[in-house]
Amino acid sequence: MTINPFSSLVDLSAGLAGGQYSAVELSGLYLDRIRRANTHLHAYIGVCEAAVMQQAQASDLRRASGHALGLLDGLPIAIKDVCGIEGQLSSCGSAAWASRRSTVTSTVVNRLRAAGMVILGKTHMVEFAFGGWGTNPLQGTPHNPWDLEQHRIPGGSSSGSGVVVASGLAPAAIGSDTGGSVRIPASLVGITGLKTTQGLISLYGIAPLSATLDTIGPMTRTVADAAILTQVLAGEDVHDQITCRAPLADYRAALARTSDLSGMRVVVLAQDQFPIPLAPDVLAAFRRAVDVLRGLGATILERRFPFDFADLMRRNGQIISAEAWSLLDHIAQDETAAVGAAVRARVLAGAAVSAKDYIQALVHHRQSCEAWQDWMTDVDGLLTPTLPIAACRLDEVDEAATPLSTFTRAVNYLGACALTLPAGMSRDSLPIGVQCIAKRFDESTLIRIGCAFQQATDWHLLTPDLSSLMA
């Protein structure tokens, strides 16, 4: 049987359960595609084929003996290079850390392994996860697969994770998100990305950028796949104290609900509250998405947002810089260290944040989180564009500017969760996304809204033409 490499985890799982193919055959498909395409796309930083096949063989043995570990057993996945695996290289996108090895295995990896998933390899990323364009001048920038002729940005910092899913080099991947690093690349390459509430998924064994704002999230073809992965990854971890406050939920239950969104209330921003002009194609896609939700029965409300997106973006950046400086000052100050100029400048900017400024920023952050919860009391979601533009060419990037973070950083700062969904294509045939934001720990609502949206649209089914790479 021919396996579609762009299939969802749900469909691939059904194929394994039905005996249509084995885990070895499935992993072999993705390894073959990686061999053919990764040289051009530059999405994986490391793949150990022998280890992949050993994991797949173990899965087949479990299934043959009637001891499959569940829905995800035997399914391949890629992980961002912030996820530690004891003894393995973990450069976190930095040439300065090219020989760095993890001393522990992250809880994320342990839970994926416990579910029987086959880890294909680690994906490229922005240095230290500190950047939204997806660029990496020293280790190389992954190519957005929607344009094989011109090098377009993949978005960051989870650049490689987005590219492998969009390109059919993995059916799913793990990303991290401190100011948009799951949602930005997901939007730019046309896949689904879930930014979870901090505390829902353990950060143990994850290379930190900002302890206050870091989160982990799945990057998938569908919302259903994101829900299934979140179910496996979420939950209390004795190694990460903040997970103790996370309420338990059955995210898969949200999948069983009808696509009828009657009774759900979704706020949309008035256009005069957009903090940045939108590309015409992005604005058109956003308006279509509003119409889709309205057609599904949701009540659409136009309400004034009580925050300034630009201000929240700046404040979020201040906390990231201050906390990154506390971790990476020795590298940023070492002029001989192999660090890109843009990321070095971002880290060095943290030196200018005084202790007073930092404490005041944390106080404002906590107050804003509570104000957001209060504002969302009688509504289920806030719909915004994910990004103001589609993917630009790499040579058009201005590393000193942060337009891609305009709508995303606010989510981290407000302690919220958010889901980006494919919602259209630009006139240049590049993906466009919309973002739905919900209260903290209300991922179930996002899953319900997102599943309904994807039942009513087919943007998430579109795939780039990679035939020239697969020949």
For the annotated catalytic residues, the residue numbers are: 80, 157, 181
Q: CA 361, CA 440: separation in Å to the nearest integer? A: 20
Instruction: Give every CB contact of residue 289 below 8 A, 6+ residues apart in sequence.
Output: 383, 421, 423, 424, 434, 453
Residue-wise burial string across 14-31, b where 16 or more C-beta atoms lie within 10 A, e elsewhere: ebbeeeebbbbbbbbbbb
Joined tokens for residue 420: 């980006």
Q: CA 183, CA 363: separation in Å to the nearest integer? A: 26
Q: CA 130, CA 81: separation in Å to the nearest integer? A: 13
Residue 217 near residue 446, CB atoms below 8 Å? no
Strands (DSSP E) contained in 151-231 are 172-176, 192-195, 216-220
Residue 69 near residue 58, CB atoms below 8 Å? no
Q: CA 180, CA 62: separation in Å to the nearest integer? A: 38
State yes or no: cis peptide before 157, omega within 30 of 0: yes
Q: CA 431, CA 300: separation in Å to the nearest integer? A: 24
